[in-house]
Amino acid sequence: MPHLLDIDALTADGVGQILDEAERLSDSSDMPLRGKHIINFFAEASTRTRVSFEIAASRLGAQVVNIAAGGSSLEKGESLVDTVRTFQAVGAHALVIRHAEPGAPYLAARHFRGPVINAGDGRHAHPTQALLDLLTMRQRFGALQGLRIAIVGDVAHSRVARSTTLALVLCGADVRLCAPPTLLPDPGWLTALPSSSTGGTVSQTTSLREALSGVQVVMPLRMQAERQQGGLLPGLKEYTRIYGITREKLADLAPDTLVMHPGPANEGVEISPELMTGPASLIGQQVENGVLVRMAVLKLLLGASRE
């Protein structure tokens, strides 16, 4: 695998290998990427993904150059392709890219010699988020096969929902997507859904009660207002009342369910503040695992070994 652009290029075994590598790296002080230069190109807002790629690279001994769209020559009208050619010419070994345009990392990969890692492209894909979500669930439940997960909220605009669903189904989990009708994805959303030999499934519902019944994990999502056309919801208050995940709703509908969130969360909208850090929360673990998974991906893609 030369790049990591989406989950659809991976097999269940491939996902397992990345997660295994992430766990191996958790207490390793090896620096297999010493002498490598990695460009962290974030043309869209980010806190945890950008910082965790940076920490991951430096824990492996690589040097990181961070660059945002603002302040780069994109502001002077330079094209993405020419920007990527510049990264290539200065000798970068790998490129991590986040971009508002779906497909931008694929275009970058055609003009860059080393590995390109998609750190989120529009509403399309966010493969390292999917991998860190899976690692978090695997650590907690031992296996992904047969796990039941509800993803609740703005599924239609969420690259996290899409990549995480792909990865979970690939590994044999059952995913329930839950949202008001206007925020459920259209049928083309999961074009790459694997015919999973592990028996994973995905279903959709507008009923939170139905979605939460018997699930081990619920993952509320932020309203991706920057990608919405408007007019999709009568109001945020009503959304929160019906779909917002609170301690009371969990106690009523799914008492043993654990809570994950890709962040950034809008507390009081899709999730109530006390759930963020409460005993049922795996959110801190997700962020920690983000560093490990990104270390694994960088190490595997750059093909580095200690020798």
Residue ranges that bind ligand NCD, judged by CB under 6 A:
48-49, 120, 126, 129, 159-160, 222, 224, 262-264
**Residue 297 CB contacts under 8 Å (≥ 6 apart), including other chains:** 4, 18, 117, 128, 131
Report the nearest approach of ligand NCD to the CB of residue 4 (Å): 14
Report the nearest approach of ligand NCD to the CB of residue 154 (Å): 8
Do the Cβ atoms of 296 and 17 come closer than 8 Å? no
| Closer to ligand NCD by Cβ: residue 160 or 295 | 160
| Closer to ligand NCD by Cβ: residue 252 or 267 | 267
Report the nearest approach of ligand NCD to the CB of residue 8 (Å): 17
| Closer to ligand NCD by Cβ: residue 32 or 262 | 262
Give the tokens for residue 77: 């009208």
> Which one, of 96, 137, 136, lies nearest residue 120 by Cα?
96
Give the residue ranges of DSSP H helices in 142-259. Answer: 159-170, 208-212, 236-243, 247-253
| Closer to ligand NCD by Cβ: residue 174 or 270 | 270
CA atoms within 13 A on the CB side of 280: 22
Q: Token pair 């989120």 is at which residue?
A: 120
Report the nearest approach of ligand NCD to the CB of residue 120 (Å): 4
Do the Cβ atoms of 128 and 159 come closer than 8 Å? no
Report the nearest approach of ligand NCD to the CB of residue 132 (Å): 9
Supply the angle between the helices 127-141 and 48-59 in degrees, to the nearest 10: 80
| Closer to ligand NCD by Cβ: residue 45 or 81 | 45
Q: Token pair 């050619």 is at which residue?
A: 85
b/e sequence 227-258, b meaning 16+ C-beta within 10 Å: ebeeebbeeeeebbeebbbbeebbeebbeebb
Report the nearest approach of ligand NCD to the CB of residue 283 (Å): 10
| Closer to ligand NCD by Cβ: residue 48 or 111 | 48
Report the nearest approach of ligand NCD to the CB of residue 264 (Å): 6
Q: Tell the burial category of 14 from Cβ atoms under 10 Å away from its Cβ (0-12, 13-18, 19+).
A: middle
| Closer to ligand NCD by Cβ: residue 273 or 303 | 273
Report the nearest approach of ligand NCD to the CB of residue 192 (Å): 18
| Closer to ligand NCD by Cβ: residue 93 or 261 | 261
Do the Cβ atoms of 263 and 24 come closer than 8 Å? no
CB neighbours (10 Å) of residue 125? 27
